[in-house]
C-alpha cells in the first residue's frame, strides 16, 4: 500500500484533507501518528512559501510523499491581515477563540459593507526531494459581529457566506468540503496525487 503524510496535527484539517483527497489504496500518516514534534518555522512571505517549507521539513525526515498547506484569512478593511499570520494572530500558541476575539475587536464599529474578507489556501504535494506541485483555493465572504456555529475550526465561526446565509462553522462537513478554500485547493491537487501514485504502481 502506498503511503502519504498529511503535514498537520490539526484533527479538523486532517479529516477535511482526507475527505477531499480520498485516493484508493493510500495509507495516510499525520504528524501526530508519526510523533513529529519539531517546530517548523513558517518564515515564508506567502502562503505558498510556507506550505512548501512544511512539506520539505517533513519529507526530509521521512522520505515519503507529503501534502502540506498554509491557509489563512485576509480581511480587506485590515489591508490583508491577518494573512499568513492567521494561526498566531493574537500571539504564539494562540487559540482559535483568542484569534477570533482579537479580529472582532479590531472590526468593532465597522459596518457590514466594509467587513469583506476571503479565506485562501495554498496546498503543496511534494513527492520526490524537490519535485512538487502547488495549488490555490479562495472563498469570499464577510466577517460577522459574533461567532455562530459549532462546526469547523479557526475563523469559521465568524466567516459568513452570503450564498448560504450561514457562517462556515454552520455548514455540515459535507457542504464545507464542497466549497471551502481548502476544498478548492486540494481538489485541484488531487489529480496530481492520483497521477503520481498511478505512475508509481506502473513503474515501482
Q: What are phi and psi of 202, to 5 degrees?
A: -75, -35
On the CB side of 52, how many CA atoms lie within 13 Å of its CA?
A: 16
H-state helical runs in the chain: 11-21, 31-34, 47-62, 96-106, 173-179, 181-202
156 among known catalytic residues? no
Q: Which of 22, 30, 32, 70 is catalytic?
A: 70
For residue 79, CA distances in Å to 50, 115, 117 come to 20, 11, 10
Q: What are phi and psi of 161, to 5 degrees?
A: -105, 105
Question: Which residues are part of the catalytic machinery?
Answer: 70
Amino acid at each position: 500500500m502506498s503511503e502519504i503524510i498529511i503535514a498537520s496535527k490539526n484533527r479538523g484539517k486532517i479529516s477535511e484533507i482526507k475527505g477531499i483527497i480520498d485516493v484508493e489504496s493510500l495509507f495516510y500518516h499525520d504528524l501526530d501518528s508519526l510523533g513529529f514534534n519539531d517546530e517548523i518555522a513558517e518564515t515564508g512571505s506567502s502562503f505558498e512559501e510556507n506550505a512548501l517549507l512544511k512539506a520539505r521539513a517533513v519529507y526530509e525526515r521521512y522520505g515519503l510523499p507529503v501534502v502540506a498547506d498554509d491557509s489563512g484569512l485576509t480581511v480587506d478593511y485590515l489591508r490583508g491581515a491577518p494573512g499568513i499570520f492567521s494561526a498566531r494572530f493574537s500571539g504564539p500558541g494562540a487559540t482559535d477563540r483568542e484569534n477570533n476575539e482579537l479580529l472582532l475587536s479590531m472590526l468593532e464599529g465597522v459596518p457590514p459593507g466594509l467587513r469583506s474578507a476571503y479565506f485562501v489556501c495554498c496546498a503543496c504535494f511534494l513527492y520526490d526531494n524537490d519535485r512538487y506541485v502547488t495549488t490555490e483555493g479562495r472563498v469570499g465572504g464577510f466577517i460577522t459581529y459574533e461567532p455562530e456555529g459549532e462546526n469547523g475550526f479557526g475563523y469559521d465561526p465568524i466567516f459568513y457566506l452570503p450564498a448560504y446565509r450561514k457562517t462556515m462553522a454552520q455548514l455540515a462537513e459535507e457542504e464545507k468540503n464542497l466549497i471551502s478554500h481548502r476544498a478548492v485547493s486540494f481538489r485541484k491537487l488531487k489529480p496530481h496525487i492520483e497521477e503520481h501514485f498511478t505512475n508509481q504502481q506502473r513503474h515501482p
